[in-house]
Amino acid sequence: MHKVIVGDYATSTFRKEEPESLFDIAFKAGSILLSHRKVSPTEIDAVLFSSCSSDQYSASIIAEMLGIKPKIAQRIDNLCNSGTAAVISAYGLIASGLCKSALIIGAESRNSPGRSLSWDVARGSFTLPIYWATMYARNHMRTFGTTEEQMAMVTVKNRRSASKNPNALYRKQVTVDEVMASKRISYPLKLLDCSSLCTGASAVLLLSEVMLSRRVENPVYVTGIGSQTNSASLSKVISDMNVTGASRIAAMEAYHMAKKTPKDIDVAELHDAFSIMEIMAYEDLGFVAKGMGGRFIQHGKVATNTRGGILGCGHPLGATGVSQVAEIAAQLSGKAGRRQVKGCKNGLIHNLSAGGTSATIIILGVD
Amino acid sequence: MHKVIVGDYATSTFRKEEPESLFDIAFKAGSILLSHRKVSPTEIDAVLFSSCSSDQYSASIIAEMLGIKPKIAQRIDNLCNSGTAAVISAYGLIASGLCKSALIIGAESRNSPGRSLSWDVARGSFTLPIYWATMYARNHMRTFGTTEEQMAMVTVKNRRSASKNPNALYRKQVTVDEVMASKRISYPLKLLDCSSLCTGASAVLLLSEVMLSRRVENPVYVTGIGSQTNSASLSKVISDMNVTGASRIAAMEAYHMAKKTPKDIDVAELHDAFSIMEIMAYEDLGFVAKGMGGRFIQHGKVATNTRGGILGCGHPLGATGVSQVAEIAAQLSGKAGRRQVKGCKNGLIHNLSAGGTSATIIILGVD
């Protein structure tokens, strides 16, 4: 098996504006990455495009725009999980020896067709994601005594990190009081407990270890991968509202592959489309015991969502997972600038789709 | 590296009717395959869905419908190449050790959004695929003396094969005279030189060799993979109208990986969306010298498009590549019924997108 490293990464500035074309925004992230000259376009064996858009032949179009003639070009989608799903596919192509390099580009526009879960008829009229987040939040408060203030602290922490990230949608910090006083959307969630759909793109270059010479000084390895799809319908997963079960299963698989435990993780990107989801992620990933997530936000030892998370950066669906991988790679390379977590060696990416019906975990590490 | 085998396959009957939902037709192919009991749903590690449709979270929806809780679920698209692209991704997931099994389902409805190449603005108003096929056909006639009758013979051969395939859209044989007399669409192509979009689904199960025990008697191995994307726009490939360059590059790569030459291939599924494309495929795959494709149809030694090809079976975009793999697996297993090619050991699948701007080749073999 060929070892796989994250050879480079680039992220565009996430915005509220609609781009003229999704391809413009995807091109931007790809061209920034290529401008670093870690690889030449002729060396790229695969272009995987992650997006929920309905454009046809999109991976080939982006490859042509970037001057790449890859062996493999394909689009991959799986709602919010799309970006990490594409990274996992790229890992397979490289580890198996089919490719030596893969450029994964995730891009989405604010009015993406992935913004409504209209296919899940069991949701009735509750097709917007906030409805499942509301159920999770109410249950967590009822069962474990989690408070609205603790959820607000997730937003405060992630907006603080986002203030140091020039690509984040929200650069302005907020206080617990401001979150608590923000517009009530669906009890107990308020406007500032919720992420915003936005336009953005991110790119990650995976390389086979055989391409390492001279290119990358302190290589960041993909050490663990876990993924689990429990269902498409929320009604199938809410028999136990205390866990997003897919995350737990995926995490166990990834820790096993990486030969790591939750205690080894120094820095993590967690899926925080809603503040409650980050609290549940602490528990599902084993950073803290079940029910203790609300307190972990105050006393936890893992640096979480250093780029600002989805709450701070915004949520361009197909780009989110890719930008999570980019952030952990930046942290482990010591190139996260003002956001740098000192001495971090192992990082984890957690992503999920549609109320936790599916989840992916990727673990990266440096020697 | 883990060896990968085609463990099972199933194809629905291709039809002109629209299904109530694309998921119904995808489910049909998947449930036929599961009914063979080569694997149980709990053993399936990945569900890859190939389709040009714009449904969201489609791979997870199909997994749930089939009672599968896979690790990995994702949709993959790349126009006509989608099905073979998904098979290649699945190969990567298994060969790399991430998964032990993957179910690839391709499905498309007749009114798929992939039917028009509207993104390729350099085509002007010539967005329908027949326009590039017309250019290829005129060039081949002018340069190599290929005749309309030779193209007609491709249709006659493939419709003859389709008459033996209970899942084919067109079961009625046609004569050269009937092809020649059919409605003129765009000189020199006539109605019967062209395939038809249709509704259909096909499923293929890939397994890691470690899952072989008891399940499969004479395993069909994936021995070669080649893929090449030259561009998205036709204008970028027509500097040499004599070849579909991506096919040639992909074929060389696949032959190299499989350690085979064109002479080793006993049976092949070729992309014949238009009759001229099969003639060009003979040449691009090295079955015959450049320019001799028109004569190969009369004197060739490789059994081609035994399921009836796209001309006979119809063209449900995302399903086509999967059904091509299913046919070659059936042939190499000796289970192709009335279409069986005696004693075949090595088979090849050739698929392409958008005028040959990209192509994929998969080689299968039995010991």
Are the Cβ atoms of A92 and B96 closer than 8 angstroms?
A: yes
Is B300's pLDDT higher than 80? no
The tokens describing B78, both together, are 């790349």
Decide: B202 and B322 in contact? Cβ < 8 Å. yes
In this complex, the residue of B54, B73, B119 whose CB is nearest that of residue A78 is B73
Query: Cβ contact (<8 Å) for B358 and A73?
Result: yes
* pTM, entire model: 0.96
Confidence of residue B147 (pLDDT cuts 50, 70, 90): very high
Are A57 and B236 in contact (CB < 8 Å)?
Answer: no
State how far the Cα of B225 lies from the Cα of B253, in Å rounded to an integer: 7
Give A85 to chain B, closest Cα distance, Å.
7
Inform me whether the pLDDT recorded for A239 exceeds 80: no
Q: Is the confidence at residue B236, as pLDDT, over 80? A: no
At residue A121 the predicted structure's pLDDT band, cuts being 50, 70 and 90, is low
pLDDT in tens, B21-38: 899 999 999 999 999 999
pLDDT at B239 > cutoff 90: no
Nearest by CB to residue B236, choosing from A64, A81, A91, is: A64
Distance from CA of B62 to the nearest CA of A (A): 8
Identified catalytic residue from A80, A194, A198, A344: A80
Choose between A218 and B349: higher pLDDT. Answer: B349
Which residues pair with residue A348 across a beta bridge? A268, A363
Q: What DSSP designation does A146 have?
A: -
List Cβ neighbours of A125 (8 Å cut-off, separation of 6 or more). none
Percent of chain B with pLDDT over 70: 96
Among the options B52, B99, B194, B315, which is catalytic?
A: B315
* pLDDT tens track for A165-178: 999 999 999 999 99
pLDDT in tens, A2-35: 999 999 999 999 999 887 789 999 999 999 999 9
Confidence at residue B121, expressed as pLDDT on a 0 to 100 scale: 65
Q: What is the mean pLDDT of chain B?
A: 93
Higher pLDDT, A200 or A211: A200
Q: Which of A23, A50, A68, A74 should be substituted to probe chain B, the one whose Cβ sees the most B Cβ atoms within 10 Å?
A: A74
Determine if residue B154 is left, alpha or beta; phi over 0 gives left, psi from -120 to 50 gives alpha, anything else beta.
alpha
- The pLDDT of residue A213: 72
pLDDT at A300: 74
pLDDT of residue B125: 64
- Average pLDDT estimate for A295-321: 93
pLDDT of residue B21: 86
Q: How far is CA B277 from CA B154, B228, B242, B290, B355, in A?
A: 10, 17, 11, 13, 9
**Span of A230-234, A241-245, B50-54 with lowest mean pLDDT:** A241-245
> Where does A96-221 have alpha helices with state H?
130-144, 148-162, 176-181
The pLDDT assigned to A54 comes to 87
**How many Cβ contacts (< 8 angstroms) between chains A and B?**
179
B343 — alpha (psi -120 to 50), left (phi > 0) or beta? left
What ranges make up the beta strands (E) of chain B?
Answer: 4-11, 46-50, 72-77, 101-108, 184-186, 189-190, 200-208, 220-229, 267-269, 303-304, 346-353, 358-365
Check: complex ipTM more than 0.90:
yes
Task: Say what the pLDDT of residue A124 is.
Answer: 64
Q: How many helices (H) and strands (E) does chain A have?
A: 11, 12
pLDDT at A69 over 90: yes
Confidence at residue A122, expressed as pLDDT on a 0 to 100 scale: 63
